[in-house]
Chain A
Amino acid sequence: METIIENELVKELANKHGRSRDSLVPILQDLVVHNRFLSKQDMIDVARELDISAADVYGTATFYTFLDIEPKGKYVIRICKTISCAMKGKNEMLATIEEILKVKIGETTPDGKFSLLETNCIGWCHKAPAMLINDTPYTELTPRKVTEILREYIKK
């Protein structure tokens, strides 16, 4: 049997959200905030903390698009690909981002700073095209605006 190394973060989150099944998603969400993704070990530790099977944690996590199980960059860019944004130039924005960051959809920059993903409608269709960088929405994008936004993030 493996020796159990305490996962302080998971413990802390379980203390914060509780250890019943309905605490699972909030704990996973906070883990993603901290680590940008759910590692295999984190999922096992959450399973132990809540006394449910690791498969259940995995099954639940993978249902939710934002609960990534692959490593992601510090800033996760999710560009909306649904109809309004598609109509209003999403592809052009995507090309701009790809050009600046030198990554394709699904990839993370080698420095681990940015991941580029597509997502479904984020509720800003009247100000399309739109994207999220982590939790922050950016709307009425133009290639120029995208360039400026990214420049700010690169500086951070």
Chain B
Amino acid sequence: MSSNHVKRVDLIFEKIECKAVLEKIVDMEPDDICQELLDSDLKGRGGAGFPTGMKWRFTAQEKDPVKYIVCNADEGEPGTFKDREILDQVPGKVFCGMAIAGKAVGAKMGYVYLRGEYKFLIPKLNTELDKFHKTMDEFNQNFRIQIRLGSGAYICGEESALFESIEGKRGEPRNKPPYPTSFGLFGKPTAINNVETLVHTVMIMNYGADHFRELGTKDSRGSKVFSISGDTPKAGIFELELGMTVDQFVNDFGDGDTKAVQVGGASGFCVPRKKFAETIIGFEGMPTGGSMKLFNSSRSMYNVLHNYLDFFTEESCGQCTPCRVGCQQLLKGVEAVKRGEKNSKYLDELVKLAKTMKRASKCGLGQSVGNAFGSIVENFKEEIIY
């Protein structure tokens, strides 16, 4: 990508005939599906970026006759709203992706875990689901999907917390190992994927792995749907080729006065203007679940940080020490520094604490609080103190 602009793509929202894709895969060997995905280099779009083909293959290799497919539609990361749009525009493709996953791993049952905030989508999804089940019957496939609603808990987007939640419990993340591919929902081997990842699998099965690989970079193949918000004249949902720099991105989406971009939501990193050029959006640089939030020079980065810390303090599941207490300390700590009750050196203590949280927390939530904290404090220290 050499131009100073980003490349728009239209795959995810492309209206295609799912039946045609199903036609292709019903007679395929399950492992060939996994191989096709491996060939495509598709990595998960939910944030962690695990190779999807590998995840499915691991699940397929488990001996247990009962397995599950889970579509992670919890989309709670602040600044992320693309899964809602995908489910609204092309729900059939999401279900189709789950069916492909079911075929690949040998699962008969799939769950969509939809965040409670998106309950208004349910009537539409149910209509689509009826259609989907009819199609399954036509293809003589007994794969079935159930929709489960969340009830306002960000942590339930974390895969093992999500399983606990479907099982009717508190959404507290589990210890890993064991991983979902061997011990997932109801203790069974489970392939869990983000909404967008599943749609990508449909497009890969439709157009082939090579088509997908044509886009993006060596480490980040394909395109990605971005949720763009903040100080931008073009807030919204855009599918873009992976591998752009923040500079290119800001050229297209900034308001001319962008001072920082928060990549990946509250659990992502803050990129200041001076690092726009060197920062690549993709797995080689800054991976993201798709949230891009722009801040112009009128914004106080203290307020941004405070808002994020407030979010984590509330949304931590609370079970592990570094995260439960650490979040509170970071929040109270920056407040105390701001009020002058603690001197600026205290920020260094807090940065160290954020490092401990990153290393010692039980799950991705606590492990990533330090991302925003570290990058904002490091780059906007004066704004935090004064």
Contact = CB atoms under 8 A, between A and B. Distances in A.
Interface of A: 20-26, 28-29, 59-60, 63-67, 81-84, 86-87, 119-128, 132, 135-137
B148 A126 contact: no
A26 B266 CA distance: 29
B interface bracket (residues with beta carbon within 8 Å of A): 35 or more
B149 interface: yes
A83 B299 CA distance: 11
Interface residue SS majority, chain B:
mixed
B165 A84 contact: no
Contacts of B314: 120
Nearest to A20: B168
A83 B153 contact: no
B151 A126 contact: no
Interface stretch (B113-121, B213-221, B279-287, B326-334): B113-121
A137 B153 CA distance: 18
Contacts of A64: 116, 150-153, 171
Given A120-B314, A125-B229, A29 B76 contact: no
Contact of A126 (B167, B235, B311): B235
Nearest to A59: B170
Nearest to B121: A135
Contacts, number: 113
Given A119-B152, A125-B78, A136-B120, A60 B170 contact: yes
A66 B151 contact: yes
Given A66-B152, A121-B77, A124-B81, 8 more contacts: A20-B168, A22-B168, A25-B149, A29-B151, A83-B266, A125-B227, A126-B237, A137-B120
Given A83-B304, A120-B314, A125 B79 contact: yes
Contacts of A121: 76-80, 311
Contacts of A127: 235
B151 A67 contact: yes
B78 A22 contact: no
